[in-house]
A and B are shown apart, each in its own frame.
Chain A
Amino acid sequence: METRVLKYAEINSSKAIRNGEVVVDNPSQLIAKEYFKEIYMALDLKYPKFYKMDGLCQLALLATEMLIGDGDYKGDEIAIILGNKNASLSSDKQHYAAIASKENYFPSPAVFVYTLPNIMLGEICIKHKITGENSCFMMENIDADFLHTYVSHLFEADNYKYCITGFVDFTEENYIAKLFLAGSVDSSDSEATYKFDKTFNKIIP
């Protein structure tokens, strides 16, 4: 058995791509909220809670959906190890705006619950009933070396079949999700998969 990258997905401000194929284009440069809704509809999702999420969680959820949405995975066989740069800055700012004035002090519980970046892990886990280890690490850009080391140890130490790994980062102006599904496969069955090494992020050009 060896660990390979089975699938990958990317959402940037121009395109949503699954295994190299464009799922949704954003030629008119819709703002994140509208663009994410387009992707949600293109994926034919029926998950009203999506609309309550902040941008970071919507982005992470959509990229995960592109990765494992059409598969038959057992939640206890999947771990999630992600990287992120701006934490929950967008929700943090929104929350701050609601509490900045003493005269107009109305913090929103629905915004406050998203003022942590690892909430995106929780939202993914709830949607896909994933119960494996999950962690979010802060990093400037996708640190494939670190993620590769961590995920490899995870496969060695625990009985996971799959791990969703990569980088999800969101601000209103700039956002990116690059997710990879790493999994243990039989060495003879690795044709349609990709090498999982310290440069696995290069799978996405």
Chain B
Amino acid sequence: MEQLKENLKVAIIEALNLEDVSKEEIDNEAPLFGAGLGLDSIDALELIVLLEKEYGVKVENPEDGKDIFQSINTIAAFIEKNQK
């Protein structure tokens, strides 16, 4: 699980072009949107693509995104639960 979280941080930094952010700066529990990394709605769509492309996990209902993309912890839990 910890390795998954570390890989996830690297993938997010790369996919979202977070040039000024290092993986060490991303707290597993910190919110990714709003006050946290300051991600926006396009980033949310990009995260949906990232999960499908890199982890083979589909977010079937976009409404669930709010809960899934809360933090690194919640994304990792979603991947672990749904990855086949």
Contacts and interface: CB of A to CB of B under 8 A. Distances in A.
Interface string B10-40: 0000011111100000000000000000100
B53 A106 contact: yes
B49 interface: yes
Contacts of B18: 48, 51
A181 to B, nearest CB: 29
B38 A108 contact: no
Contact of A113 (B17, B20, B42): B42
Interface residues of A, number: 10
Interface string B51-83: 011000000000000000000000000000000
A93 interface: no
Contacts of B52: 106
A110 B20 contact: no
Interface residues of B, number: 14
Contacts of A52: 16-17, 42
B43 interface: yes
Contacts of B19: 37, 48, 51
A113 B16 CA distance: 13
A109 interface: yes
Contacts of A110: 15-17, 42-43, 45-46
A48 B49 CA distance: 21
A113 B44 CA distance: 13
